Chains A and B, each alone.
Chain A
């Protein structure tokens, strides 16, 4: 009897607890909706009465977002408080899908990397709120940006005419991929004062590296050109640059100068590229471990001073040591098949960075909040933190700044990562040269000069604009690509290593056609034509 009553009590308590918890959940939702708030159209605060919204973002795990100075500052200024429903960066995709599937939406997505098909799908379902009308009224900075750069508007407008997300806009970052760099020591040792300009000259140089022992250790351990394999792609880091010598701007889809879209793996240029790579491979000029090693393993070779040509953000990151202007950037070479090398340039736009969901009670206020990030002041705040933390103005009128000493002898970037969320995530903002004015080093200046003279002045351009496919097009492309890319990846390795002779090219192209490669080009062509005519 006694025991039975105890059990009952337990049950009762449990039940009560559950209902209490459920009650909490209900209450929260009720308080979030309704109540109208006046949103000021300019200046701060954005709202008179403080409001609270939820935000979902990927987190790199250095600092809790509640404790970030930038976000606290922003909350004070705007009167908008965010509750963060963050997920670790590497598992953000999983959590994002779960959130959509379970209809448990945050009020805004920040740095969410929403894909084109997600924007379209959830836009059509009404989960993501169309922003284009609100932008006119509540996003003056972003609107100015769109007016100045019509291509941005084209790229973020879905085929149904709506804008479902705001992009990352980076006008100061021109590289499509990390550049390649020559080992300056080797160049000097071999007496090369003019960088190779054609594929033949490059071949000769690499051959000399292999044979003449430029690192001077008496062993033939030099590796003329080395690459890595990641789960995503083989040797992508060097492919981008070598493909250009044969006329292809990009490895998958590019548009040529007469507006024709090419599917690169079945292009003539790809064949010539394979022939050349096969030659490098056969003569031992391409690192035989390129199809198996990781970036760390390649770096270990660089630090042993074995590499002559390699890809990285900056040369010293592979070679070790301090930043050095002695290692020149790779000058894109051209082959006998083309008149000038094709050089890819970064699009400068990444879509899907910021979106507002239908459960958001204050979409206008949210948009005003994010619009600040597209102004110089807002972008600066989110990029470098408030003045007095990381930097201070040397001359506010021309926006020149200087760095302040970092507290506790920390690494400056580590410190920055504790101030602002915009660290390693695709956050909605605009990056201009003004933001870093005065903060660049001599080395940075040298790198941008190299970029200017070797890439931009030689006609670098965007291989294929950021554009939207319709839901049907996207799903067709996805299903075709999943087979195609695996096949291409395998065959590329086989052609280069000689496991498949180049005489098999026609067969390979026939197989690609059977797998729908032409359809991929066709769909992209249609989408490109739409984009062009918009």
Chain B
């Protein structure tokens, strides 16, 4: 049908413009990705002197060797996976029921509850009081410190609530009730199966958050065995960058020498680390992306 319609000159020009524009956008998005991949396997000298600008030059795997030979990386990976999986499951277990309850117009006092929940979006306790709460709960230096304080995100509750409001018709709920369905069962058997998109979106939002988070581990954790991947990677980077900030005072000659021998591989490691830490997320993203667009769209179109 579309084919048979004559495209006007203006349309053609528009299409052309669109393609050019999209190509430019593609380059802008793709270039840094390729650059980082290439830089992670090029010799540091080529990268620093600007000879490597797109494709790898003087290929070396030393950066990845250093990253993967570090036993802490694997421990960090394991920890991060634990934090991400357990944390995300808990997030979903808290967010979805709360959002559904708040989406029901027959829930008495829902505006009152919603108001209180929203309040925390605008006013938070601040770093030190939060730290004190976590400390008094006995969570310092436990894995729980990274999971429990961030169990619910108000923003995500609001998004999920909007989704439920706009996609689950009231009639469905009434019909179920007439057939003798309880609220719990309604949620489990009817609402959740209809909400795959929002579950995927929430899982992705929370999952990425857990994966990338390092600040709370920095604040609450003391023992290295519990560090997530991001902390371990940061440490590796910092060690390499110590050479850059060196000056006469405060460093001994031996350290300077050691740092110098490492400075060579510093940039290698830097890019290797970026690849290692983002690859899993990039790999998961395409599978969730379908839901992602769907879920966010539905939530946003209707109020």
* Bound Cα distance from A239 to B242, whole angstroms: 21
Would B263 and A88 count as touching, CB distance under 8 A? no
- Asked if B218 and A87 make an inter-chain contact with CB atoms under 8 angstroms apart, the answer reads yes
Is A30 in contact with chain B by the CB < 8 A criterion? no
Residue of A nearest to B254 (CB): A413
For residue A303, which residues in chain B have a CB less than 8 angstroms away from its CB? Answer: 45
Contact A61 B248 (CB under 8 A): no
In the complex, whether A400 has a CB less than 8 A from a CB of chain B is no
Query: Is residue B247 contacting chain A, with contact meaning CB distance below 8 A?
Result: yes
- Which A285-335 residues have C-beta < 8 A from chain B? 294-297, 299-301, 303-304, 313-314, 317
Interface pick from A135-143, A171-179, A505-513, A523-531: A171-179
Decide yes or no: A299 and B248 within 8 Å by CB, A61-B236, A314-B256 being known contacts.
no
The smallest beta-carbon distance between A254 and chain B, in angstroms, is 15
Among A25, A88, A301, A414: residue with most chain B CB under 10 A? A88
Residues B251 and A21 in contact, CB atoms below 8 Å apart: no
Cα of A376 to Cα of B284 in the assembled complex, Å: 57
Residues of A close to B235: CB separation below 8 A: 59-61, 88
Mask: chain B, 44-60; 1 = CB below 8 Å from A; 0 = not: 11001100000000000
Determine whether the beta carbon of B231 is less than 8 Å from that of A88.
yes
Contact A168 B244 (CB under 8 A): no
A89 nearest in chain B by CB position: B238
Interfacial chain B residues near A444, Cβ < 8 Å: 253
A269 in contact (CB, < 8 A): no
Verify if B7 is at the interface (C-beta below 8 Å from A). no
Q: Tell me, in angstroms, the Cα distance from A18 to B267 when the chains sit together.
A: 45
- Binary CB contact string for chain B from 221 to 258 against chain A (1 if under 8 A, 0 otherwise): 01011000001101110110111111111111111111
> Does B4 make an interface contact (CB < 8 A)?
no
How many of A's residues come within 8 Å of B, CB to CB?
64
Q: What is the bound-complex CA distance between A295 and B256, given in angstroms? A: 14
Is B136 an interface residue, CB under 8 A from the partner? yes
Contact with A along B277-294 (1 / 0, CB 8 A): 000000000000000000
Q: Does B119 contact A (CB under 8 A)?
A: no
Contact residues in B for A282 (Cβ distance below 8 Å): none
**Minimal beta-carbon separation of B132 from chain A (angstroms):** 5
Q: Which residues of B contact A294 (CB under 8 A)?
A: 48, 244
Q: Tell me if A98 and B260 are in contact (CB < 8 A).
A: no
Bound together, the chains give a CA A64 to CA B224 distance in angstroms of 7
Chain B residues near A426: list those with CB within 8 A. Answer: 250
**B74 proximal to A (CB < 8 A):** no
Of the candidates B138, B218, B242, the one whose C-beta lies within 8 Å of that of A95 is: B218
Per-residue contact bits, chain B 152-179, to A (CB 8 Å; 1 contact, 0 not): 0000000000000000000000000000
Interface code A412-438, partner B: CB below 8 Å = 1, 0 otherwise?
111011000001101000010000000
Q: B174: shortest Cβ distance to chain A, in Å?
A: 22
Instruction: Tell me the nearest residue of chain A to B261, going by C-beta.
Output: A411
Closest to B244 in A: A295
> Which residue on B lies nearest to A301, using beta carbons?
B49
Our pick among A24, A176, A300 for the contact of B48 (Cβ within 8 Å) is A300
In the complex, A389 Cα to B128 Cα: how many Å?
43
Q: Name the CB-closest residue of A to B239.
A: A60
Q: Is the CB of A90 within 8 A of B131?
A: no
Which B residues are in CB contact (< 8 Å) with A89?
A: 238, 242
Q: Chain B binding site: helix, strand, loop or mixed by DSSP?
A: helix
State A81–B250 Cα separation when bound (angstroms): 27
- The verdict on B1 contacting chain A, using a C-beta distance below 8 Å, is no
What chain B residues lie within 8 Å of A346 (beta carbons)?
248-249
B297 interfacial contact with A, CB 8 Å: no
A178 in contact with B248 given A88-B234, A297-B48 (CB within 8 Å): yes
* Complex CA distance for A101 and B132, rounded to whole angstroms: 10
Complex interface residues of chain A between 166 and 196 (CB less than 8 A to chain B): 168, 170, 173, 175-179
- Chain A residues, Cβ within 8 Å of B45: 300, 303
- Assembled-state Cα–Cα distance A91/B242 (Å): 13
Task: Report whether A62 and B239 are in contact in the complex, using a CB–CB cutoff of 8 Å.
Answer: yes
Closest to A3 in B: B184
- Which chain B residues lie closer than 8 Å to A313 at the CB level? 246, 251, 253, 256-257, 260
Q: How close is A321's CB to chain B, nearest CB, in angstroms? A: 12
Q: Is A177 touching B247 in the complex (CB atoms < 8 A)?
A: yes
Which residues does chain B contribute within 8 Å of A398, judged by CB atoms? none
Contact, CB under 8 Å: A173 / B248:
yes
A102 to B134 CA separation, bound complex (whole angstroms): 11
Residue of B nearest to A176 (CB): B248
Return B71 CB to nearest CB of chain A, in Å. Answer: 11
Contact of B249 among A85, A102, A350, A424 (CB under 8 A): A350
| CB-based contact B258/A411 at 8 Å | yes
Q: What residues of B have a CB within 8 angstroms of the CB of A278 in the complex?
A: none
Q: Is the pair A102, B135 in contact by a Cβ cutoff of 8 Å?
A: yes
Interface string of B119-138 (1 = CB under 8 A from A): 00000000110011001111
Contact of B49 among A22, A64, A232, A300 (CB under 8 A): A300
Say yes or no: A91 contacts B218, CB within 8 Å. yes
A24 cross-chain contacts in B, Cβ below 8 A: 138
Q: Indicate which residue in A21, A59, A236, A350 contacts B139 across the interface (CB closer than 8 Å).
A: A21
Contacts of A210 in B (CB 8 A): none
**C-alpha gap A89/B241 in the complex (Å):** 11
* Chain B residue at smallest Cβ distance from A440: B253
Q: Does A534 contact B (CB under 8 A)?
A: no
Q: Which residues of A contact B (CB under 8 A)?
A: 3, 18, 21-22, 24-25, 59-62, 64, 84-91, 94-95, 98, 101-102, 104, 168, 170, 173, 175-179, 230, 232, 236-237, 294-297, 299-301, 303-304, 313-314, 317, 346-347, 350, 411-414, 416-417, 423-424, 426, 431, 444, 447
Seen from chain B, the residues whose Cβ lies within 8 Å of a Cβ on chain A are 44-45, 48-49, 72, 127-128, 131-132, 135-140, 184, 218-219, 222, 224-225, 231-232, 234-236, 238-239, 241-261, 263, 266-267
26 contacts across the A-B interface (CB closer than 8 A):
A3-B184, A22-B137, A22-B138, A25-B136, A61-B232, A61-B238, A88-B235, A90-B241, A94-B218, A98-B131, A102-B135, A173-B253, A176-B248, A177-B248, A295-B244, A296-B267, A300-B48, A314-B257, A317-B257, A412-B254, A413-B255, A413-B261, A417-B258, A423-B255, A424-B255, A447-B253
Listed from nearest, the 7 A-B pairs whose CB atoms lie closest are A413-B258, A21-B138, A61-B235, A175-B248, A300-B49, A313-B256, A300-B48
